[in-house]
Amino acid sequence: MNSRLDGRRVTVLMGVLALFWAGSAFALTSHDAPFWFEPGVYPTLDLADSVRYDIRVHDASNIGMTVTNYGFLGNNFVNRSPSLEYPLGSTIDHLIRAGLWIGGVNAQGDTLVTTSTVDGYWMTPSPVGVEFAAATMGIEEISALPNSKYFHPGAFSEQDFIAFYSDSFPVGARPDRHVTMGLLTRQRSMVWSYDLADAFVLVNFTLTNFSNSTLGALCLGMYSEFASGHKGSYETWPPSGWFDNKDVTYYDSLRMVSEHHYTFANGAAPSWVAAKLLGVKLNGVPVDLATTTMSFNWWDWDPGATDKDEDRERYLLMSNGEIDETAGSEAPDYDVVELLSAGPFGFLGVDDSISVAFAFVGGDDEEDLILNASWAQKAYDFNFVLPTPPPSPVLKVIPGKGKLTLHWDDSPETAKDPVTGDEDFEGYRVYVSRDNKTFDMIRQADVVDTVGFNTGLDALVDPVEIDGVQYKYKLTLDLLKDGFRYWVAVTSYDTGTPEVPSLESGVPQNKTLLIPGPEEHEAMAGSVTVFPNPYRVRALWDGEFLRDRYLWFTNLPRKATLRIYTLAGDLVDLIEFDGDTYRAEGARGVYDPGADPEGRGAPILAGSMYAWDVISQRDQAVATGLYIFVVEDRITGETQTGKFLVIK
């Protein structure tokens, strides 16, 4: 059935971070070793310990997703970080909020529902709708990649986030009217970066009954508030006019609900997303969903509605067996909220567990979305074990004047496929991008055998040790432009088999943002310069918005104080520069920390360049005119002066 719906504002919650309470709630008695991801293993709970609320962003594949350790999925648009951003780097976001709903009947005959989120207002620092509390000290990250610092043999994907939370709160912090079901949830979210598996996030929830009585008629559902748009088109945040633009479709045979912008934001947001129910297991035994009651309900967003604010009303939605009609595009008349549910499943005894897995899927169009959803289902069906290419190598890139020098190791050449157990490495590919979206392959080299081009790897061999790491291969990219951003990556690919074509590791595994410029030994002493000069607002690298514009100071001393004055002698800006730590944090057009809260995408610079955003220390755009700069070397005490022109 086809349906197009839409949305308006939405959601709540990041304020639950303020609910730090000590001496209560559940927590690990030991935080030294992360054993919680082993099947059937749970943390020891200690009411005398404390908990820590945590938020992480999946950024290791082609789809970006915010997860928490209190059940809330998405970021409620509190910042520009990925909230089901697909493709990652496109600045097209699709999700305000999502979260698990659990319904059941306790031994006293009470019908109960615990929710991770309900209808609410975006950007609202309120815990309304969240009826889970963190149960451990934050989110654990592990990885199946041997070259990752998070590597652990218990990982399934390239980036596993593991969180524990419970619906049992301390009495003083319990949400209004919430009645505890006595469930501990282990949430594991997973992503892969290589083709066929890079367009979905799998989230597996395992619920264990640690109450003193059996729970009956359990229902499991995923609430979602999809809302697609191009956040890169908005200079200020949060964006205005984001909602009331939804086209929603439910696919009965796939147990999946999709959404896209009903006009694709006039071409600015062409991608689709979906939430798909993958499977349910009771005490590890798969449940036949073909004989299970499925329900799909949608409604017009309304945080003040009284017909869904009681547990009995919510349970009825989860178990009614209805598939709501969707009749073409409901936009702009409705702001749709979706609930995809399964059950009832019978009884959950004391210490019994039930698991449910959902996929959040992205696609370039509807056909691509359905294809990616099928791969998500395959990943679940094979217990999250997929044919896997060799990992990308450990990569070190050094920026220089007009060039980037790439060094990488040979660790992929001895990696074994987890399915076949074979060492099937074939070769390397080198990629470069100017926009973090389109990556061009500029070099390919493979071992000499009967597969591929048989170029050999010898031409790249140039061993070197850097910071204690041995790198075997080297490639220099020259004729580049100083001050411009470049993303580079080196991938590995395998030989393939008659059943599975050659697979290539994902670009995100070692993707690095760099900006060419003079290294310390290349910078000429006493020659601090500004480019472009004159700065005509704007430079070729500038973004669309005022806050995304910048010019460069280069040939700076490693540690310097930079002062900018008007011709009248008024101080415009004062900058303390440290080339060892500077990552362009103050120039949003180069790097926006607000969209990268964990700092994984910060650029690497040569150490002699500073990007000035043409904004004064009073937070005002500077006017047309001639400006004087004074640079003081904090090590030698020497000073340099110069001037530059801003033309608007």
Q: How far apart are CA 201 and CA 197, in angstroms?
A: 9
pLDDT, position 386: 86
Between 491 and 542, name the one with better pLDDT. 491
Least confident span in 116-125, 216-225, 312-321, 396-405: 116-125
End-to-end CA distance of the chain: 54
Q: How far apart are CA 595 and CA 244, in angstroms?
A: 24
pLDDT, position 538: 75
390 is a domain residue: no
Give 169's pLDDT tier (boundaries 50, 70, 90).
Answer: confident
pLDDT, position 52: 86
What amino acid occupies position 209? N
Q: Is the pLDDT of residue 172 over 70?
A: no
Q: How far apart are CA 40 and CA 206, in angstroms?
A: 9
Antiparallel, parallel or unpaired: β 183-190 and 140-142: unpaired
pLDDT, position 207: 97
Are the CB atoms for 118 and 97 separated by under 8 Å? no
Q: Are residues 483 and 567 in the same domain?
A: no
Mean pLDDT over the full length of the chain: 88
Q: pLDDT for 501-526, tens place per residue? A: 899 999 999 999 999 999 877 766 66
pLDDT, position 287: 96
Q: Domain range holding 618?
A: 529-646
Q: Is the pLDDT of residue 7 over 60?
A: no
Provide φ and ψ at 525, rounded to 5°. Answer: -60, 140
47 is a domain residue: yes
Q: Are residues 227 and 115 in the same domain?
A: yes
Q: Please identify which residue in the block is written with the tokens 């009995």.
A: 312
- The predicted model scores a pTM of 0.86
Q: Please identify which residue in the block is written with the tokens 């303390």.
A: 576
Least confident span in 32-36, 347-351, 370-374: 32-36
Q: How far apart are CA 74 and CA 261, in angstroms?
A: 18
Question: With the C-alpha atoms ordered 28, 32, 34, 38, is the resulting torsion angle positive or negative?
Answer: negative
Give 263's pLDDT tier (boundaries 50, 70, 90).
Answer: very high
The number of angstroms, rounded, from the C-alpha of 302 to the middle of its chain's C-alpha atoms is 28
Q: Is the pLDDT of residue 405 over 90?
A: yes
pLDDT, position 629: 98
257 is a domain residue: yes
The number of angstroms, rounded, from the C-alpha of 251 to the middle of its chain's C-alpha atoms is 26
Task: Kindly report the CATH number assigned to the domain that includes residue 444.
Answer: 2.60.40
Q: Are residues 236 and 126 in the same domain?
A: yes
Q: Is the pLDDT of residue 174 over 80?
A: no
pLDDT, position 544: 75
Provide φ and ψ at 546, rounded to 5°. Answer: -55, -45
pLDDT, position 45: 47
Q: Are residues 157 and 265 in the same domain?
A: yes
What amino acid occupies position 585? E
Q: For the residues 174-188, what does the mean pLDDT come to? A: 88
pLDDT, position 20: 24
Q: For the residues 42-55, what does the mean pLDDT come to? A: 62
pLDDT, position 141: 96
pLDDT, position 161: 98
- H/E segment holding residue 628: strand 625-633
Q: Are residues 237 and 360 in the same domain?
A: yes
pLDDT, position 125: 56
Q: Are residues 580 and 503 in the same domain?
A: no
Give 176's pLDDT tier (boundaries 50, 70, 90).
Answer: confident
Tokens of 91: 């600045």
550 is a domain residue: yes
CA distances from 438 to 113, 276, 302, 425, 451 (A): 45, 28, 40, 25, 27
* Ramachandran quadrant class, 324 (left: phi over 0; alpha: psi -120 to 50; beta: rest): beta
pLDDT, position 184: 95
Between 627 and 38, name the one with better pLDDT. 627
Q: Are residues 60 and 205 in the same domain?
A: yes
Q: How many domains does the chain have?
A: 3
Q: How far apart are CA 621 and CA 546, in angstroms?
A: 8
Between 124 and 117, name the one with better pLDDT. 117
Q: pLDDT for 578-635, tens place per residue? A: 999 999 998 999 998 877 877 888 999 999 999 999 999 999 999 999 999 999 999 9
Is 111 strand, coil or helix? strand
Q: Is the pLDDT of residue 457 over 50?
A: yes
Q: Is the pLDDT of residue 346 over 70?
A: yes
What amino acid occupies position 161? F
Between 27 and 550, name the one with better pLDDT. 550
Q: For the residues 185-214, what does the mean pLDDT come to? A: 96
pLDDT, position 594: 78
pLDDT, position 355: 97
What amino acid occupies position 548? D
pLDDT, position 203: 98
Between 176 and 147, name the one with better pLDDT. 147
Tokens of 393: 């190598």
Q: Are residues 83 and 223 in the same domain?
A: yes
Q: pLDDT for 479-489, tens place per residue? A: 999 999 999 99
Q: pLDDT for 60-71, tens place per residue? A: 999 999 999 999
Q: pLDDT for 365-395, tens place per residue? A: 999 999 999 999 999 999 998 889 999 999 9
Q: Is the pLDDT of residue 4 over 90?
A: no
Are the CB atoms for 493 and 389 separated by under 8 Å? yes
Domain boundary among 352, 381, 410: 381
Domain boundary among 381, 416, 432: 381
Q: Are residues 22 and 163 in the same domain?
A: yes
Q: Is the pLDDT of residue 9 over 70?
A: no
pLDDT, position 526: 67
543 is a domain residue: yes
Find residue 126's DSSP bridge partners.
none
Q: Are residues 230 and 370 in the same domain?
A: yes
The answer for residues whose C-beta is within 8 angstroms of residue 353's C-beta and 6 or more apart is 40, 206, 207, 208, 209, 282, 283, 284
Are the CB atoms for 12 and 120 separated by under 8 Å? yes
**Half-sphere exposure (Cβ direction) of 162: Cα atoms closer than 13 Å:** 24
386 is a domain residue: no
Q: Are residues 142 and 291 in the same domain?
A: yes
Are the CB atoms for 418 and 388 separated by under 8 Å? yes
Q: Please identify which residue in the block is written with the tokens 């820590």.
A: 52
pLDDT, position 48: 39
Residues shown for the chain: 648
Q: Please identify which residue in the block is written with the tokens 């997703």.
A: 65
Q: Are residues 557 and 504 in the same domain?
A: no
Neighbours of 422 (CB within 10 A): 12
pLDDT, position 190: 98
- H/E segment holding residue 526: none
Domain boundary among 381, 412, 432: 381
Tokens of 374: 């099928």
523 is a domain residue: no
Beta strands in 343-466 (DSSP E): 347-348, 353-363, 395-400, 403-408, 425-433, 440-446, 461-466
Q: How far apart are CA 423 and CA 403, in angstroms?
A: 34
Find residue 487's DSSP bridge partners.
433, 513
Three-class DSSP labels, 432-491:
EECCCCCCEEEEEEECCCCCCCCCCCHHHEEEEEECCEEEEEEEEECCCCCCCCEEEEEE
Task: Give me the percent of the chain exceeding a pLDDT of 90.
Answer: 74
Contacts 24+ apart (CB under 8 A), 458-463: 460/428
Give 170's pLDDT tier (boundaries 50, 70, 90).
Answer: low
Find residue 281's DSSP bridge partners.
286, 355
522 is a domain residue: no
Give 5's pLDDT tier (boundaries 50, 70, 90).
Answer: very low
Task: Give me the percent of the chain exceeding a pLDDT of 70.
Answer: 90
Omega of the bond leading into 532 within 30 degrees of 0 (cis): yes
